[in-house]
Amino acid sequence: MLKNTEQRLTAIRQWLSQRDIDALLVPHEDEYLGEYVPAHNERLHWLTGFTGSAGVAVVTRDKAAIFVDGRYTVQVAKQVSADHFEYRHLIEEPALDWVKSHLSKGASVAIDPRMHSSSWLEMAQAQLANTFELKILDTNPIDELWHDRPEPIISDVRLMPLDTAGQSSLSKRQQVSKITKEKNADSVIITALDSICWLLNIRGLDVSRLPVLLSHAILHSDSSVEYFLDTSRLPDEFHNHVGPNVTVQHPESLQSRLEALSDKKVILDPTTTNAWIKLVLQNAGVSLIHSPDPCLMPKAAKNDVEIAGMKACHVRDGVAMCQFLSWLDAEVVAGRLHDEATLADKLEAFRYQDSTLQDLSFDTISAAGSNAAMCHYNHENQPQPGKLEMDTLYLVDSGGQYLNGTTDITRTIAIGQPSEEMIKQFTLVLKGHIGVARARFPRGTRGYQIDTLARQHLWAEGYDYDHGTGHGVGHFLNVHEGPASISKRQIDVPLTAGMVLSNEPGYYRANAFGIRIENLELVVEQPTDGDFPVLSFESLTRCPIDKRNIKLEMLTDTEVTWLNDYHQTVWDEISPHVEGEVYEWLRQATSAIR
């Protein structure tokens, strides 16, 4: 890779020199700005070798730097050559700050506007104004230089039937169009891939771990949609499935159709829409309304059919998890301490015993011992995977994409006898997890108001964790779904009934161990004797929490009751689907602790 890196940097610098440009920004994102980038769009990886999910590189005529956040400071040093790239912290020193300190006034900085959000472009233009020239590229130099670029994955368009989606595409389009009209807009540009698939009740597998189709859409106030996808990919039943007034356009016609909105008022989400689309609309004289994607809230609040599907797939996912954890305990007792890759593959094999599984929902985090201290650890990015050791903890964070739902679960497992400190920290995390699971809160509550419940017991002892407590989860869609979350960030989005969010407090001690306990929670209305109902969480995940890691005297009676009740539910719903050794393991794992 080092030789490739040097050759590719040289090629980029020649490209800069030929065009009299001083610097090029290469972000991880592609034109769809999604969390997951398909292999044929992994431009940052092509240039640097970095495989993380967030980052950006800057290449000048004589220097280069790569910027990553705190999740990847260890990984970047292993994957990216220090002889060719400086390592910088994405948050503490953003790429544009580095540019301003390393280039002379008047220097030119090139970007591909498709790879940046429209909000980022607005910020960059303000920061570089009167000091640097921001050059907007028509083509991406990496696309010109990437000669062994993988072919795109062209998956089948899957139609989501009404008995799985719970609401017709026409009904959804009418619902979202009403929101569009309320903002006095004629049309809305929809670029978030999960929003498009939700709106049309379709799915695909164009991107690993993400059941979407690489496409764009324009929704008009009369509920009609222009959908940009190669028509050869559509099944015969497509038009009957989506209902009237959906026209399918070739992707190459997107620019002309955007320009045709010249006399319209158009909603554009500046965080999910790339800057190229905004520039095309601006240049056509479109009146832009900057507003969040109107699909976000309706999509996040699952309907009754989607909720039933989420519950059903969590039972099947729980069966796979229990089979895996039963097998793991037996292997440890037998002295067979496997490596992280073997464990991840074994868990995946158990999940694939269910024919409704379409993909994993993300790359499994299989972290043994001190590797779990890196909360986004990936054994596939290491020279060799770690291996289980006795008297430690094993953290496994995994999930599946099923035809009727998406799962995400983390369990931290005792391998032998964990230390007293490990058990103490696990119990503090568990107390926070239970605090969120038992929360009662009025309508209008934001996620950041719930976040303290997860951290309070760690804070009291002087500890914390450097990630959010919860993220939204889609219905056979993104495992990380907006717009709501549970974290310190003051995101002004209320939690509403039907939302599914993770509950995953943790604790990480560098070079020692890591702990995370994650269930998915459904927001439900809770009747009260008061003047109005309150909201609460209903745990969807069906898998035991490892009792061997708990210091019982640290739990209150209320917390013990919650844990026993949760384990009784797991037993009631999972035990009919397992037998033999797994049945006996589950009986022990879910027995009452007091």
Q: Tell me how far apart the alpha carbons of residues 303 and 315 are, in angstroms, rounded to a whole number.
A: 19
pLDDT band at 2 (very low <50, low <70, confident <90, very high): low
The two three-digit tokens of residue 382, written as one number: 């290491």
Per residue in 203-221, pLDDT (tens digit) is 999 999 999 999 999 999 9
Span 42-47, average pLDDT: 97
Per residue in 49-67, pLDDT (tens digit) is 998 888 999 999 999 999 9
**pLDDT for residue 523 is more than 90:** yes
* Residue-level length of the chain: 594
487 C-beta neighbours (distance < 10 Å), count: 16
Span 27-53, average pLDDT: 94
**pLDDT for residue 559 is more than 80:** yes
- Strands 506-509, 513-516: pairing is antiparallel
Determine contact, residues 196/187, Cβ cutoff 8 Å: no
Weakest-pLDDT range from 126-130, 327-331, 408-412, 429-433: 126-130
pLDDT band at 3 (very low <50, low <70, confident <90, very high): low
339 C-beta neighbours (distance < 10 Å), count: 16
pLDDT band at 250 (very low <50, low <70, confident <90, very high): very high
Query: Starting from the edge strand earliest in sequence, which strands make up the sheet with 357-360, in order?
Result: 357-360, 400-402, 405-406
The two three-digit tokens of residue 102, written as one number: 């390393």
Q: Tell me how far apart the alpha carbons of residues 167 and 208 are, in angstroms, rounded to a whole number.
A: 26
Residue with tokens 């974290």: 487
Per residue in 93-140, pLDDT (tens digit) is 999 999 999 999 999 999 999 999 999 999 999 999 989 999 999 999
Per residue in 294-331, pLDDT (tens digit) is 999 999 999 999 999 999 999 999 999 999 999 999 99
Q: Which residues contact 579 (CB under 8 A, 6 or more apart)?
A: none
Determine contact, residues 80/60, Cβ cutoff 8 Å: no
Pick 529 or 432 by higher pLDDT. Answer: 432
- Strands 202-203, 158-159: pairing is antiparallel
Q: Tell me how far apart the alpha carbons of residues 322 and 312 are, in angstroms, rounded to a whole number.
A: 16
H/E element holding 483? strand 481-486
**pLDDT for residue 528 is more than 90:** no
Q: How high is the pLDDT of residue 382?
A: 81
Query: Rounded to two decimals, what is the model's pTM?
Result: 0.95
**pLDDT for residue 399 is more than 70:** yes
Task: Give the percent of the chain with pLDDT over 70.
Answer: 99
Weakest-pLDDT range from 81-85, 89-93, 367-371, 423-427: 89-93
pLDDT band at 75 (very low <50, low <70, confident <90, very high): confident
Q: How high is the pLDDT of residue 531?
A: 82
Q: Tell me how far apart the alpha carbons of residues 321 and 310 are, in angstroms, rounded to a whole number.
A: 16
Residue with tokens 């509403």: 496
Q: Which residue pairs, CB below 8 angstroms and at least 24 apart, start in 92-98?
A: 93/67, 94/67, 95/25, 95/56, 95/58, 95/65, 95/67, 96/124, 96/127, 96/128, 98/58, 98/65, 98/67
Which amino acid is located at 222 in the chain? D
Pick 72 or 274 by higher pLDDT. Answer: 274
Q: Tell me how far apart the alpha carbons of residues 397 and 581 are, in angstroms, rounded to a whole number.
A: 24
The two three-digit tokens of residue 549, written as one number: 């890691």
Q: Tell me how far apart the alpha carbons of residues 15 and 142 are, in angstroms, rounded to a whole number.
A: 10
Span 553-562, average pLDDT: 98
Cis, peptide link before residue 505, omega less than 30° from 0: no
Q: How high is the pLDDT of residue 380?
A: 85
Taking all residues of the chain, what is their mean pLDDT, rounded to a whole number?
96
